[in-house]
């Protein structure tokens, strides 16, 4: 039976197992929206701005592991989506974004709402397609999902001109696809696995440094086995938090610019670093010359281009993280590997000394709410089991430090691109995927205003998100840098003319609570989280002068931290 391109699209998405389509209508996608109205297999989630559609799909993808799917119109619809696409690209999140396009005969004519969506998105997608003939539509969509979800995942854009959505052709769901130009490696090289295990056997001060790749590949169980086997300390990047339980005694916290003292010191002193699904980002390494200066490095990553990009490694292993760790565990067993107990004792003693510094301790001040205290309270009230999305800035780092994630896919933040405005729409995607779960959006008064219009979407779709806004009246991270490095010249980092967030939440039909005193934080949070079916906006007025510690200043080595 012949179907229009628009009907093929909705049928395909349903056949592909897509639950939610995050989008916003417009001229070029009107046929598609008409087709959406004719079916009930996929649910469309209307947002208030296309950027939020991409972040919501992103939050859905990060929390479920399934690809997030977005539909936007041509022109401004596509350009508004770009920030969200770039956010997903930097963090390797599987996403398929369908952009409407002007009819094929008008392409290149500067038609109304025309942009070169394929050209604009090219540097921030894993791949993109322009569909010029309805005959190619189903297969192109299949390719898009295949590319987005395999290998190192990432966003894929499919640009569909309006006439293609009106034309008709027979539809058959393409179950399988192969592409001669795209064959991601899965299995690690046997010789490299053997070499890696030899280094592990010889190591006296081994260390595991793991990133988002462990979470993307669902390799947390394998990682836990490897860590136990090696009796090695584990540090996570911000993207990798939850990939290893924070409550495990082998965990030394996050590393990098705002990493713990023990993690950064262990990195600086280890003799073997096993990097897994992490990419040696500049926020992680600090001064690259001083990074892990005594260590041999094993680097496991699915993306060959990530290996030896920033740091030259000794044993690169390209492959799926879970598959490679399994091979390592088999090889460890086969090689009668024995950890060096005496060396391990000394190494752990040293680590415990670093831990005793208690770098995350903070000064309390009677009448000011410390942001760290607010996040510790959040952790306690939610029993450490909430999905926590965050925006970008100081609150993000404090959440990463003080909310101790024991499970993967619970910590949802824009690590690579650092996109303010990510938190609330991402929380929408998470709450849709897990309607009964507790979802907290940790944000600041700066970030929340970058996508605050989504409070309306939350009302429409009944999303009882708890917004924990650490309101210090400053763009805190900018203020902190200005304090440290610009002689306290606070140029434009003060948030003037703030709205009354309680009234604002109420105006959108939600509940707003303002907290001004430390002794009220716990009660307010308890009250908020008790309201299971309401969105609550907690406006928590925190100490405006608090800084994030430890801090590795730009250009310094990880062992040159500023402690409180």
Partner 1 sequence: MKQKTKTDEEGMRHIISILMENEAGALSRVAGLFSARGYNIESLTVAPTEDVTLSRMTVVTWGSDEIIEQITKQLNKLVDVVKLVDLTEGPHIEREMLMIKVRTSSNDSREEVTRLVDIFRGRIIDVTATSYTIELTGTGDKLDAFINAFEKTPILETVRSGISGISRGAKNLHI
Catalytically active residues, by annotation: 50, 112-113, 162, 477
User: How many angstroms separate the CA atoms of 343 and 472, rounded?
Assistant: 46
127 binds partner 1 (CB under 8 A): yes
Whichever of 182 and 481 has its CB closer to partner 1, that residue is 182
Which of residues 3, 98, 134, 147 is near partner 1 by CB under 8 A?
147
Q: How far is the CB of 127 from partner 1 (least distance, A)?
A: 4
288 binds partner 1 (CB under 8 A): no
Which of residues 2, 41, 109, 119 is near partner 1 by CB under 8 A?
119
**Three-class SS state of 227:** helix
123 binds partner 1 (CB under 8 A): yes
Structure tokens at 501: 């967030």
522 binds partner 1 (CB under 8 A): no
108 binds partner 1 (CB under 8 A): no
Whichever of 149 and 168 has its CB closer to partner 1, that residue is 149
Which of residues 172, 177, 202, 305 is near partner 1 by CB under 8 A?
305
Q: Is the CA virtual torsion 18, 21, 22, 23 positive or negative?
A: positive
Which of residues 195, 229, 309, 461 is near partner 1 by CB under 8 A?
309
Which of residues 14, 107, 111, 118 is near partner 1 by CB under 8 A?
118
**Among 460, 427, 423, 465, residue whose Cα is nearest residue 445:** 423
What does the buried/exposed string (b/e) look like for 221-252 if buried means 16 or more CB atoms within 10 Å of the residue's CB?
Answer: ebbbebbeebbbbbbbbbbbbbbbbbeeebbb
126 binds partner 1 (CB under 8 A): yes
Per-residue x/- mask for partner 1, residues 181 to 200, rule CB under 8 A? xx------------------
User: How many angstroms separate the CA atoms of 515 and 504, rounded?
Assistant: 15
* Residue span binding partner 1 (CB under 8 A) among the ranges 60-68, 306-314, 340-348, 508-516: 306-314
Say what angle helices 521-530 and 371-381 make with each other, to 10 degrees.
Answer: 40
User: How many angstroms separate the CA atoms of 358 and 360, rounded?
Assistant: 6
Which of residues 308, 350, 453, 547 is near partner 1 by CB under 8 A?
308
CA dihedral 230, 235, 239, 244 (to 10 degrees): 50
- Contact predicate 373/518, CB 8 Å: yes
User: How many angstroms separate the CA atoms of 160 and 139, rounded?
Assistant: 13
Q: How many residues form the binding site for partner 1 (CB under 8 A)? A: 18
142 binds partner 1 (CB under 8 A): no
304 binds partner 1 (CB under 8 A): yes
- Contact predicate 385/411, CB 8 Å: no
Strand 20-23 and strand 68-72: the pairing is parallel
* Residue span binding partner 1 (CB under 8 A) among the ranges 10-18, 170-178, 217-225, 299-307: 299-307
122 binds partner 1 (CB under 8 A): yes
312 binds partner 1 (CB under 8 A): yes
CB count within 10 Å of CB 284 equals 28
Q: How far is the CB of 182 from partner 1 (least distance, A)?
A: 5
Whichever of 309 and 461 has its CB closer to partner 1, that residue is 309
Q: How far is the CB of 4 from partner 1 (least distance, A)?
A: 24
Residue 532: partners with Cβ closer than 8 Å, 6 or more residues away: 464
437 binds partner 1 (CB under 8 A): no
289 binds partner 1 (CB under 8 A): no
Cα R_g (the chain), whole angstroms? 24
Whichever of 312 and 503 has its CB closer to partner 1, that residue is 312
Q: How far is the CB of 130 from partner 1 (least distance, A)?
A: 7
Which of residues 179, 202, 288, 356 is near partner 1 by CB under 8 A?
179
Reduce the secondary structure of 347-402 to three states and give it as a string.
HHHHHHHHHCCCCCCCCCCCCCECHHHHHHHHHHHCCCCCEEEECCCHHHHHHHHH
Whichever of 122 and 221 has its CB closer to partner 1, that residue is 122
The string of DSSP letters for 20-80 reads EEEE---GGGHHHHHHHHT--SSEEEE-SSHHHHHHHHHHHHHHHSSPEEEEE-STHHHHH
**Among 167, 157, 105, residue whose Cα is nearest residue 135:** 167
Q: How far is the CB of 143 from partner 1 (least distance, A)?
A: 9
* Residue span binding partner 1 (CB under 8 A) among the ranges 173-181, 255-263, 272-280, 361-369: 173-181
Which of residues 281, 303, 483, 522 is near partner 1 by CB under 8 A?
303
299 binds partner 1 (CB under 8 A): no
User: How many angstroms separate the CA atoms of 467 and 60, rounded?
Assistant: 17
User: How many angstroms separate the CA atoms of 269 and 490, rounded?
Assistant: 37
Whichever of 182 and 337 has its CB closer to partner 1, that residue is 182
Contacting positions for partner 1 (CB under 8 A): 118-119, 122-123, 126-127, 130, 147, 179-182, 303-305, 308-309, 312
């Amino acid at each position: 039976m012949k179907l229009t391109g628009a009907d093929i699209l909705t049928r395909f998405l349903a056949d592909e197992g897509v639950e939610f389509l995050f989008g916003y209508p417009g001229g070029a996608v009107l046929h598609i929206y008409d087709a959406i109205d004719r079916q009930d297999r996929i649910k469309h989630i209307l947002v208030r701005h296309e950027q939020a559609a991409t972040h919501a799909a992103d939050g859905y993808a990060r929390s479920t592991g399934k690809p997030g799917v977005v539909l936007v119109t041509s022109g401004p619809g596509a350009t508004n989506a770009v920030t969200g696409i770039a956010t997903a690209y930097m963090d390797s999140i599987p996403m398929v974004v369908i952009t409407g396009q002007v009819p094929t005969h008008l392409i290149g004519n500067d038609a109304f709402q025309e942009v070169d969506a394929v050209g604009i998105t090219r540097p921030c997608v894993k791949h993109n397609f322009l569909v010029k003939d309805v005959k190619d539509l189903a297969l192109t969509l299949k390719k898009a999902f295949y590319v987005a979800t395999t290998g190192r995942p990432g966003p894929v854009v499919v640009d569909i001109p309006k006439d293609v959505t009106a034309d008709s052709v027979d539809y058959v769901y393409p179950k399988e696809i192969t592409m001669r130009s795209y064959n991601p490696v899965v299995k690690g090289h046997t010789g490299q696995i053997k070499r890696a295990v030899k280094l592990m056997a010889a190591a006296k001060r081994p260390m595991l440094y793991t990133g988002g790749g462990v979470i993307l590949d669902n390799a947390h169980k394998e990682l836990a086995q490897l860590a136990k086997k090696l009796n090695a300390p584990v540090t996570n990047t911000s993207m990798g938090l939850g990939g290893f339980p924070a409550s495990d005694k082998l965990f030394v916290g996050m590393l990098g610019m705002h990493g713990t003292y023990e993690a950064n010191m262990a990195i600086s002193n280890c003799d073997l670093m096993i990097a897994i699904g992490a990419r040696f980002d500049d926020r992680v390494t600090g001064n690259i010359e001083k990074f892990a200066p005594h260590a041999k490095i094993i680097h496991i990553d699915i993306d060959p281009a990530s290996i030896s990009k920033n740091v030259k490694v000794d044993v690169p292993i390209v492959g799926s993280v879970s598959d490679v760790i399994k091979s390592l565990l088999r090889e460890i067993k086969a090689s009668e590997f024995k950890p060096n107990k005496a060396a391990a004792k000394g190494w752990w003693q040293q680590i415990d000394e670093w831990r005793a510094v208690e770098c995350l301790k903070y000064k309390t001040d009677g009448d000011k709410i410390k942001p760290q205290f607010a996040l510790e309270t959040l952790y306690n009230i939610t029993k450490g089991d909430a999905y926590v999305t965050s925006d970008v800035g100081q609150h993000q780092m404090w959440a990463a430090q003080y909310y101790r994630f024991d499970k993967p896919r619970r910590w949802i933040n824009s690590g690579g691109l650092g996109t303010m405005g990510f938190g609330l729409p991402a929380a929408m995607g998470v709450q849709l995927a897990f309607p009964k779960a507790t979802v907290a959006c940790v944000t600041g008064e700066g970030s929340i205003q970058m996508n605050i219009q989504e409070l309306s979407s939350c009302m429409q779709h009944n999303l009882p998100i708890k917004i924990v806004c650490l309101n210090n009246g400053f763009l805190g991270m900018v203020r902190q840098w200005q304090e440290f490095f610009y002689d306290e010249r606070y140029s434009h980092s003060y948030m003037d003319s703030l709205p009354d967030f309680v009234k604002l939440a109420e105006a959108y039909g939600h509940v707003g609570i303002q907290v001004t005193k430390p002794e009220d934080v716990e009660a307010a949070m308890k009250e908020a989280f008790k309201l299971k079916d309401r969105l609550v906006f907690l406006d928590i007025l925190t100490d405006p002068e608090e800084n994030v510690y430890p801090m590795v200043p730009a250009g310094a080595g990880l062992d040159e931290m500023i402690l409180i």
